Chain A
Amino acid sequence: MTTTDPASQTGYRDHPPRMGFFTDTSVCIGCKACEVACKEWNAVPEDGIALTGMSYDNTVGLGADTWRHVAFIEQRKPIAQQDAGLHHDTDVLAMAADEPSTDFRWLMSSDVCKHCTEAACLDVCPTGSLFRTEFGTVVVQEDICNGCGYCIPACPYGVIDQREGDGRAWKCTLCYDRLGQGQEPACAKACPTDSIQFGPLDELRERAQHRVEQLQDAGVSDARLYGESPEDGVGGDGAFFLLLDEPEVYGLPPDPKVTTRDLPAMWRHVGTAAVTLVGGALAAFAATAFGRRK
């Protein structure tokens, strides 16, 4: 078992393959169907009706009441030649004049909970409300969550959040209820351009690798994967992305680390200190006792 099989590590036997999302932002058209489908299926409340002025992004970020969030980034860069290049017999663009057409582009990207291989939210949850599913995803059980909020600062991506007036923590479940019925998550189902792809994580990683190579071969040198590597600070994401710029541009941390990674070492230090303290106390006590006998 590799570290990318958290379900086995959790103790599941004969479990289905680890499922996840590959969000290919190079074909996202910013329609926000994912946001609406997510809210409809999961009955997530409205998250405030207010204009932000951040391009067409009025959702701002993931939170208790937003489990999919489409970012819109306006840039002074040429339109990406977002081209899958499946079978090009003729490149008519090359045949035409090579005048640069525009130097403006509009990036769109649908963000979601990453369902980390090493999930800090799950590590710190004292009630067992957050759990690892047989699909390797991370889910909050709203009937167990006691609203302690430990998971919130633990998330390196700032995904999980407490709902106002409710106090409990909420986030994407990767539509755990739909997965159990053999259905894909609502957002992936609603996505018209297959920007959100759902499937076994191993397959998605392979597909994504192929896709990023295609794009780079087609001259989109900015294309890169984010969160796909089991070597990264969270052991790889169950929901990873193809981006066309630095992660920070999309509001994603460039080098996320599981916040509980250092906990064992910290506890070891705490333990040593405690032993020392206890030892000192005992010594003092012993000395006193001996002293009394005197």
Chain B
Amino acid sequence: MAECHPVGFQWVMEAKARGAKVIHVDPRFTRTSALADIHVPLRAGTDIAFLGGIVNYVLQEEKYFREYLLAYSNAATIIAEEFADTEDLDGVFSGLNREQRSYDTQTWQYEGTDMQAASGQRDQEWKERTGEGSSVSEAARGEAHGSGGAEIGAEPQADVTLQHPRCVFQILKRHFARYTPEMVEQICGVPQATFRQVCELLAENSGRDRTSAFAYSVGWTQHTVGVQYIRTAAILQTLLGNIGRPGGGILALRGHASIQGSTDIPTLFNLLPGYIPMPHAHTNEDLDAFVEAEGTKKGYWGNMRSYLVSLLKAYWGPAARPDNDFCFDHLPRLTGSHSTYETVMEQLRGTCKGYFLLGENPAVGSANAKMQRLGMANLDWLVVRDFSLIESATWWKDGPEIESGELRSEDIATEVFFLPAAAHTEKDGSFTNTQRMLQWHHQAVEPAGDARSDLWFTYHLGRKIREKLLAATMDESTSDEQRERDRPVLELTWDYPTKGAMAEPEAEAVLAEINGWNSDAEPLSSYEQLKDDGSTACGCWIYCGVYKEGVNQASRRKPTTEQNWVAPEWGWAWPANRRILYNRASADPDGKPWSERKALVWWDADECKWTGHDVPDFKPTKAPDFRPDEDATGPDALTGTDAFIMQADGKAWLYVPAGLTDGPLPTHYEPQDSPFPNLLYPQQRNPVRQMIRHKHNRFQPSSTEPGSDVFPFVVTTYRLTEHHTAGGMSRWQPYLAELQPELFCEVSPELARERHLEHMGWATIATARGVIEARVLVTERLTPLKIQGRTLHQVGLPYHWGQNGLTTGDTVNELISLSLDPNSHIQETKAAACDIRPGRRPRGPERLELVRRYQERAGITPETGTEV
């Protein structure tokens, strides 16, 4: 965190000054470790084993917060009899289809009722919920769900004694029983005493009077089991009662400024603003069928229709009417995964012909950089908007494939447009940070030369496209089919006011649209006001209120000394300016704070309302003893103790009955390429991990397979404080380039001795995908680990470099394979197996020859590592 989020780390230091203990778990000793109380080095790619070991400790030693657990989690819920755990099936869950490499998730459900997820893969049960695609608006509800199907939305069965063998608590206990301290030691390389110390610290610092927080950087997501890493932390924090309470939580430290914002109002293919799922291309799916399938009966997702209709009104304004489903059919449809890596594959296949790169440098920053460049070389056109001529803009003349002779500039047909981009100081806008807090930034200077903001680019590009399409529509020769095709674009509300000589769109006008308005064009103040009849428009329901009373709430700057410790008047946090989500859980079931020390919100019995330091994340007048009518739906169906108001059952999920593709419980699987067998199960890897098969994306033998000893070390990639991601913002800055002037690899003195690596000399690092060279930094910050009776060396590689800029170096992502988490489609950048040898890598075609020789030595075929 100190490495990649030095500004945010000031609050860790502040907490430390107030007595907090800091535990840092990382393969390397970093700037964070330097300031921590304890540093725990572990083998990259084994965090589920480590965290699972803590879960087991908490369960075995009964360190969990029982009252919290019973009130706010699904610990007592009973799971359907058909469910079979990894304990029963040698490391896989019930429902695995080995041919399709996917799970039928139906057997993971609660007994007697189907749950819908509040996020993730909400389309999983589309068939069951809509009746094979027949529209629910046309068909009677009973027909739609079929006879004998589960009753959706019924209260789940529970055993509050937590004794039922199929209750979540008992399943959890059995599932994690094998994650013993001995296993943690053997898998992670963490000595049992150190592990015990971490367990005790965490448990002692949780409960009524104390809370612990987890902070992770996005490296946790960069595994074939990335989502399950975070799930394990969520289980632990729920068991310990550390969610919804001050000083608790799981903080996702994002990789760039406002990546949180670009998830909320997403640049992701499978989400609409406010975490509404993007519709799939089901036949006959209308608005009602979509809401039926993706929404929930209980909780705030029960209001999905209001959020979605208001979004459609923001997109299409007066064109969105009740009689045309509010233009629901104008929304694009998913036909599968369209993540960044599938897009690259489509480029290679020739189906994706154009590509916009806005502040992204995949030729350096994305896994398997070679495939990124080869994909771009197969495009008709490529638009790069960045500060400098990054590698993704120049690969066609000076990329590694030009050097190796694989590509010749004169043969590449891609037309490349480079458009200079304005920096954040040159434009108005907002950043949303990891706490979901929006902070407005004001333009300080005009952008220089041709540089323009992304807002300018997007708005004017849309304006020009619309002009062209309008002209085409007016033209008599245009077919009706084309007119129909263009209607979604032409009917968009695209009328933002602009200012200045550059005609820069007013960023605040966009914020006002995101906030939303009623039919009188008055700004809304809360998502509770959103309607499903088309009388409200709102660009992102969770941001509703950010422009309350026509005031930009995100630009508030009241100092902390002039308000309470929650500081509600600094910026604005979604939703409804709540600073801690699910904070109903900070009070006990009766509405009293668990302790005075950790009081946040509570029920005021005299006033009959929730009150406290923070904005209560609960209906303000819903009493703790409230029980809903049986036929209540949506938020009204939540009881007075259903603190997790987005969940279909109002509970924190220790066990996830829906929404995940790879299991209801986290399970340790080895990374795609690993020098070690999975000690916990016969199943080596995540059986449903997403693998991209391609001749440039070969996988390696793992475990004890012949050839695995060719890649005996573990490599992990990361960032340095001095540089930013793929370098576009830092390698061209002299003041940053001089601070970390060259790519290096970090190795322990022991590995240096073993492989004859010299400090400040050169090393060549190899995987089945590529070879790179780096200067050698021998440092004790990398420490050898004892794993399964042998010494493991790890190689550290910062990934900022490419061939352009003031400081240059090989691109580390040449080494990384496209093996992805099946939920998030994020690549496994943080753990792979590699070889390292002294000296520089060969130049030209000989570089490819060295990769080929490595593949040959390891006996790699197209099938290697692709087993289920």
Given contacts A96-B197, A106-B31, contact A83 B6 (CB under 8 A): no
Residues of B within 8 A of A87 (CB): 18-19
The answer to whether A265 has its CB under 8 Å from any CB of chain B is no
- Alpha-carbon distance between A105 and B740 when the two chains are bound, in angstroms: 21
Contact, CB under 8 Å: A74 / B2: no
Least Cβ–Cβ distance between A34 and chain B, in angstroms = 11
- Alpha-carbon distance between A82 and B38 when the two chains are bound, in angstroms: 11
Residues of A within 8 A of B857 (CB): none
The answer to whether B565 has its CB under 8 Å from any CB of chain A is no
Least Cβ–Cβ distance between A77 and chain B, in angstroms = 11
Residues of A within 8 A of B760 (CB): 51, 53
Residues of A within 8 A of B448 (CB): none
Q: Per-residue CB proximity of A153-185 to B under 8 Å, as 1/0?
A: 000000000000000000000000000000000
Residues of A within 8 A of B735 (CB): 35-36, 39-40, 46
Contact, CB under 8 Å: A29 / B780: no
Residues of A within 8 A of B197 (CB): 96-97, 99, 101
Given contacts A49-B738, A51-B760, A101-B39, contact A29 B19 (CB under 8 A): no
Least Cβ–Cβ distance between B18 and chain A, in angstroms = 6
The answer to whether B655 has its CB under 8 Å from any CB of chain A is no
Least Cβ–Cβ distance between B30 and chain A, in angstroms = 8
Residues of A within 8 A of B566 (CB): none
Residues of A within 8 A of B39 (CB): 79, 101-102, 104
Contact, CB under 8 Å: B7 / A192: yes
Q: Per-residue CB proximity of B25-43 to A under 8 Å, as 1/0?
A: 0000101111111111000
Residues of B within 8 A of A1 (CB): none
The answer to whether B443 has its CB under 8 Å from any CB of chain A is no
User: In this complex, what residue of B is CB-closest to A101?
Assistant: B38
Residues of B within 8 A of A104 (CB): 29, 39, 780-781, 783
Q: Per-residue CB proximity of A66-85 to B under 8 Å, as 1/0?
A: 00000000101001011111
Least Cβ–Cβ distance between B402 and chain A, in angstroms = 24
Given contacts A46-B734, A102-B39, contact A31 B6 (CB under 8 A): yes
Residues of A within 8 A of B555 (CB): none
The answer to whether A92 has its CB under 8 Å from any CB of chain B is yes
The answer to whether B346 has its CB under 8 Å from any CB of chain A is no
Given contacts A89-B19, A102-B39, A192-B7, contact A31 B31 (CB under 8 A): yes
Residues of A within 8 A of B17 (CB): 83-86
The answer to whether B218 has its CB under 8 Å from any CB of chain A is no
The answer to whether B721 has its CB under 8 Å from any CB of chain A is yes
The answer to whether B759 has its CB under 8 Å from any CB of chain A is yes
Contact, CB under 8 Å: B738 / A74: no
CB proximity to B under 8 Å, residues A19-41: 27, 29-33, 35-36, 39-40
Contact, CB under 8 Å: B6 / A29: yes
- Alpha-carbon distance between A92 and B23 when the two chains are bound, in angstroms: 12
- Alpha-carbon distance between A104 and B807 when the two chains are bound, in angstroms: 30
- Alpha-carbon distance between A186 and B759 when the two chains are bound, in angstroms: 35
Pick out which of these stretches binds chain A: B8-16, B180-188, B290-298.
B8-16
Contact, CB under 8 Å: A193 / B9: yes
Least Cβ–Cβ distance between A13 and chain B, in angstroms = 35
Contact, CB under 8 Å: B194 / A101: yes
The answer to whether B413 has its CB under 8 Å from any CB of chain A is no
Least Cβ–Cβ distance between B24 and chain A, in angstroms = 10
- Alpha-carbon distance between A53 and B783 when the two chains are bound, in angstroms: 18
Given contacts A36-B736, A48-B738, A104-B781, contact A82 B759 (CB under 8 A): no
The answer to whether B414 has its CB under 8 Å from any CB of chain A is no
Pick out which of these stretches binds chain A: B199-207, B271-279, B380-388, B475-483.
B199-207
The answer to whether B193 has its CB under 8 Å from any CB of chain A is yes
CB proximity to A under 8 Å, residues B691-746: 720-722, 734-742, 744
CB proximity to A under 8 Å, residues B738-783: 738-742, 744, 759-760, 775, 777, 779-781, 783
Contact, CB under 8 Å: B31 / A108: yes
The answer to whether B531 has its CB under 8 Å from any CB of chain A is no
- Alpha-carbon distance between A203 and B739 when the two chains are bound, in angstroms: 33
The answer to whether A289 has its CB under 8 Å from any CB of chain B is no
Residues of B within 8 A of A53 (CB): 759-760, 775, 777
Q: Which interface residue of B193, B720, B775 has the most chain A CB atoms within 10 A?
A: B193
Partner of A193, one of B10, B37, B201: B10
User: In this complex, what residue of B is CB-closest to A38?
Assistant: B735
Contact, CB under 8 Å: A59 / B739: yes
The answer to whether A47 has its CB under 8 Å from any CB of chain B is yes
- Alpha-carbon distance between A92 and B203 when the two chains are bound, in angstroms: 10
Majority SS at the chain A contact face = loop
Residues of B within 8 A of A192 (CB): 6-7, 9-10
Partner of A96, one of B16, B204, B721, B737: B204
Least Cβ–Cβ distance between A256 and chain B, in angstroms = 27
CB proximity to A under 8 Å, residues B34-83: 34-40
Least Cβ–Cβ distance between A7 and chain B, in angstroms = 31
Given contacts A86-B17, A86-B19, A97-B200, contact A33 B6 (CB under 8 A): yes
- Alpha-carbon distance between A192 and B4 when the two chains are bound, in angstroms: 13
- Alpha-carbon distance between A36 and B34 when the two chains are bound, in angstroms: 21
Partner of A102, one of B18, B38, B721, B775: B38
Residues of A within 8 A of B32 (CB): 29
- Alpha-carbon distance between A259 and B264 when the two chains are bound, in angstroms: 62
Residues of B within 8 A of A74 (CB): 779-781
Contact, CB under 8 Å: B19 / A85: yes
The answer to whether B280 has its CB under 8 Å from any CB of chain A is no
Least Cβ–Cβ distance between A99 and chain B, in angstroms = 4
The answer to whether B471 has its CB under 8 Å from any CB of chain A is no
Partner of A86, one of B18, B34, B38, B806: B18
- Alpha-carbon distance between A50 and B806 when the two chains are bound, in angstroms: 11
- Alpha-carbon distance between A83 and B738 when the two chains are bound, in angstroms: 32
Q: Per-residue CB proximity of B164-203 to A under 8 Å, as 1/0?
A: 0000000000000000000000000000011011001100
Contact, CB under 8 Å: A32 / B13: no
Contact, CB under 8 Å: B780 / A76: yes
Partner of B21, one of A45, A93, A105, A107: A93
Contact, CB under 8 Å: A29 / B35: yes
- Alpha-carbon distance between A38 and B740 when the two chains are bound, in angstroms: 17
- Alpha-carbon distance between A104 and B37 when the two chains are bound, in angstroms: 12
Contact, CB under 8 Å: B19 / A88: yes
The answer to whether B245 has its CB under 8 Å from any CB of chain A is no
Contact, CB under 8 Å: B35 / A27: yes
Residues of A within 8 A of B6 (CB): 29, 31, 33, 192-193
Q: Per-residue CB proximity of B777-795 to A under 8 Å, as 1/0?
A: 1011101000000000000
The answer to whether B145 has its CB under 8 Å from any CB of chain A is no
User: In this complex, what residue of B is CB-closest to A88?
Assistant: B19
The answer to whether B825 has its CB under 8 Å from any CB of chain A is no
The answer to whether B210 has its CB under 8 Å from any CB of chain A is yes
Q: Per-residue CB proximity of A105-118 to B under 8 Å, as 1/0?
A: 11110000000000
Residues of A within 8 A of B31 (CB): 29-31, 106, 108
Partner of A29, one of B34, B720, B741: B34
Contact, CB under 8 Å: B194 / A58: no
Contact, CB under 8 Å: A106 / B29: yes
Given contacts A29-B2, A84-B17, A87-B18, contact A97 B196 (CB under 8 A): yes
Least Cβ–Cβ distance between B423 and chain A, in angstroms = 14
User: In this complex, what residue of B is CB-closest to A53?
Assistant: B760
A-B contact pairs, 30 of them (CB 8 A): A30-B2, A31-B31, A31-B721, A36-B735, A39-B735, A46-B735, A49-B734, A51-B760, A55-B779, A58-B738, A76-B780, A84-B16, A87-B18, A92-B201, A92-B204, A92-B205, A96-B201, A97-B196, A97-B197, A97-B200, A99-B193, A99-B196, A101-B37, A101-B38, A101-B39, A104-B39, A106-B781, A192-B10, A193-B6, A193-B10
Additional A-B contacts beyond A30-B31, A74-B779, A101-B37 (18; CB < 8 A): A29-B2, A29-B31, A33-B6, A36-B735, A46-B735, A49-B806, A55-B779, A56-B720, A59-B739, A83-B19, A85-B19, A87-B19, A90-B19, A95-B201, A96-B197, A99-B196, A104-B29, A106-B33
List the 10 closest pairs (A to B, CB-CB), nearest first: A84-B17, A46-B734, A31-B6, A106-B34, A29-B2, A51-B742, A53-B760, A49-B741, A96-B200, A192-B10
